[in-house]
Amino acid sequence: MAYVIGEDCVACGTCAGECPVGAISEGDIYKIDANACTECGTCADACPAGAISK
């Protein structure tokens, strides 16, 4: 199951910069492409708002 970004997202972009496969796209709330996500957890570890979970 891919990681997802919840409503707590503050759109800071930290997660997108850390994703090794470029699976995260910008927006008011960033989004993770479930088909591209490798479930490494790097984005969740980097998120300062704690908005990313499985």
CATH number at residue 29: 3.30.70.20
End-to-end CA, the chain: 7
Question: Which pLDDT score is estimated for 1?
Answer: 87
Q: What pTM does this model have?
A: 0.91
* 7-40 pLDDT tens trace: 999 999 999 999 999 999 999 999 999 999 999 9
Number of domains the chain contains: 1
User: Where in the sequence is the domain holding 19, given as residue range(s)?
Assistant: 4-53
